[in-house]
Amino acid sequence: MEPEGWPGHIWLEGRTSVHLRNHQPKPSHMPRGPAAKTGEGFLNPAMAPARTRSVMLLADAIEHGWLVPEGKTIRALDALCATGVRPRRWRKEIPSQELLRITANDLDSDALAWARQSHKSNPVGDNLEWVPEPSRFAREQEGVVEDGIHWIEGDANKLMIQAPFQWIDLDPFGSPVGFLDAAIQAISRVGVLEVTATDTAALCGSAKTSAVRRYGAVGITDSYMHDDATRILLGTIARIAAMHDKSIHPILSLFDGHHVRVSVLLKRSKEEASDWRESIGYRIRSNPYHFSKQAEGEFSGPMWTGPIFDANIAGRMTAEKAISLCSGKDEDLPEDWDDIDIEHSKREIERTVRHISESAELLSQDHLLIAVDELGIAAGIGQIPSMKKIKSGLEDAGFKMARCHMPEAMFATNADWQTILEVARSAK
């Protein structure tokens, strides 16, 4: 039976046709902000960039063979898939589908009905079929495989206890803390965990009680709050991972608009997990800041103080790669799309990875993160030089500098604070 309101109206996200409910407005090509108007459980177009990056990361794991031995399949779970856009995009846009076993789960039968009907109405066309492995506790796995996606209606925590996966996506409403323990246990010996958190008030330090309760951390609402938010979430994941003898290696950690999104490689290793505290500390405000093991003065944390990107993987997240994988081809385009829609959609996909590959090297090692506005104040200059000028000044002094994918203008550098101030004062 078709879900109520079917087929709604059709939108293209990446290369995948999605069905929006009739009351949902046609998205702009650069949607921002939370899903308030679209309704819970239904497609939030503002999350399209996060889904595009997820397609790119999983495609990269297959293309560059960094997750499973060559020729082995990757079991990928979208544990809270709602209307199934992410698993449908994994299925449609990632090459070498024979190496993927995609499972899509949600509690909401209405959202799942839309997901399955959307998938059925927009077949991938490669006749991929597979049989799910039995769960740990039953001879058969629940759910149904349709056109290469295994759909399950149930509680995510229950499912993650029943079966191991090499890739798990957690995209809940608000905080992910209630799902982290089961997801970390469900990850095989090596696997990727992708986590979205929309409880940014807690992670950024304005909702202090929730921050302490959920993350055991305190924040400061200044220009470092977005970087703090990603690091506080990473620190929480590292702590829970260590409880299960696992270590984390961040691949991509971003604050994007109204949410935090981190993707980490988890590895089972008692030795490495025992060292988890080595990458945990506090950010001490000291003009500009430093990380310390001890909380002192004005501080935020505890948080992850290690690298937040993987240089190679994030370094391959270029605009060219995003376009080649995720930009709609002629056969994908909705009938009512004109040249302007196509152009806007391309630009949106490019924006999805803006500054990521350029900043990958710096963000995968020790660096200083600088907010441009604050640099102007600290350097005592009326007019702040352009990023381009600061970059060439720092490079002339023998350092690296890259703009970061952040809500405000920020850059990372391996230069020391004095050099940064001098460059800001002298760059013209």
Site string for ligand SAM, 166-195 (x = CB under 6 A): -----xxx----------------------
CB of 127 to ligand SAM, least distance (A): 26
Nearest CA among 296, 322, 338, 239 for reference residue 14: 322
Helix axes 85-93, 109-121, angle to 10 degrees: 20
Residue 231, CA distances (Å) to 235, 260, 303 in order: 6, 10, 5
Interface with ligand SAM includes 161 (CB under 6 A)? no
Is the CB of 16 or the CB of 230 nearer to ligand SAM?
Answer: 16
CA distance 333 to 344: 13
Is the CB of 82 or the CB of 369 nearer to ligand SAM?
Answer: 82
Site string for ligand SAM, 19-48 (x = CB under 6 A): ----------------------x-x---x-
CB of 297 to ligand SAM, least distance (A): 38
Residue 77, classed as helix, strand or coil, is strand
CA distance 261 to 352: 13
- Taking CB under 6 A as the criterion, the residue among 20, 46, 62, 85 binding ligand SAM is 85
Q: How many residues bind ligand SAM (CB under 6 A)?
A: 20
Helix/strand number for the chain, H first, E second? 16, 16
Stretch of 74-82, 371-379, 389-397, 403-411 lying at the interface with ligand SAM (CB under 6 A): 74-82
Helix axes 177-186, 225-243, angle to 10 degrees: 50
- Taking CB under 6 A as the criterion, the residue among 20, 46, 111, 404 binding ligand SAM is 111
Strand 187-197 vs strand 165-170: parallel, antiparallel, or unpaired?
A: parallel
Stretch of 5-13, 101-109, 395-403, 413-421 lying at the interface with ligand SAM (CB under 6 A): 101-109
Length of the chain: 428
Contact residues: ligand SAM, CB under 6 A: 41, 43, 47, 51, 80-83, 85-86, 105-108, 111, 155-156, 171-173
